[in-house]
Amino acid sequence: MSEQKQDPRPGEAVGELVSSALKLSAAVVQTVAEAATGKPQANRPGDTPLQSMIRHGTTAASSILTTVMSATREGSAAEPAAAPVNAPPRAPRVARGSSLRLPLSVDNLRDTVMQDIEPRLVDAETPTPLHVSFKPEKLTIAPNDFEKLTVRVDVPEDTPPGRYTFAFTLPGQETQPVSLSVEVV
């Protein structure tokens, strides 16, 4: 019967693997700090990889936070330009001759089931050339739960560009009509 000898170095191999992983992580964090500050970040003599990760990580986080705070205070390009006071919110865009899906969540905040809720379009004062449909066509929502409702908007090829608004209701619910707009381009 042959005797199997164990290699006494598995522990050393694991230690070397951990050490290599820490050194690699320290190098990555150092690179992030250099990118965030725009300056070379030297390692201090005698720093362990963990100490280096903490120091460079703190430098990177501080630089990024300073940049964000400055941009916020100055109103720079980091924040979008403010819309005119009376401008309507931006609507999803859809090309003529194509379709757009708008995913919505319908919440049931009641303690009873909402059964067979069928979304219905509200007659608009100005008819819209858009074809609007709902998936699913009927919803049943458990108490204190929600379901996904997808509104599909089909835009005929001959639809003039512009903003179109339509509304729908959920019959049997004490809610106001839901109004949605799309921008045909």
Residue 98: the pLDDT is: 94
Structure tokens at 168: 């729908």
Residue 158: the pLDDT is: 94
d(CA 114, CA 18): 56
Kindly report, residue by residue over 84-113, the tens digit of the pLDDT: 666 667 889 999 999 999 999 888 888 999
Q: Answer yes or no: is pLDDT of 82 > 70.
A: no
Kindly report, residue by residue over 144-182, the tens digit of the pLDDT: 999 999 999 999 999 999 999 999 998 877 678 888 999
- Whether this prediction's pTM lies above 0.75 is answered by no
Residue 153: the pLDDT is: 94
Kindly report, residue by residue over 17-74, the tens digit of the pLDDT: 777 877 878 788 788 778 877 878 888 888 888 888 788 777 877 777 677 666 655 5
Instruction: For residue 182, report the phi and psi dihedrals to the nearest 5 degrees.
Output: -135, 150
By CB atoms closer than 10 A (0-12, 13-18, 19+), residue 175 is: exposed
Torsion of CA 151, 155, 159, 163, to 10 degrees: 30
Residue 4: the pLDDT is: 61
By CB atoms closer than 10 A (0-12, 13-18, 19+), residue 26 is: buried
- Candidates 46, 63, 75, 146; CA nearest to 106 is 146
Residue 154: the pLDDT is: 95
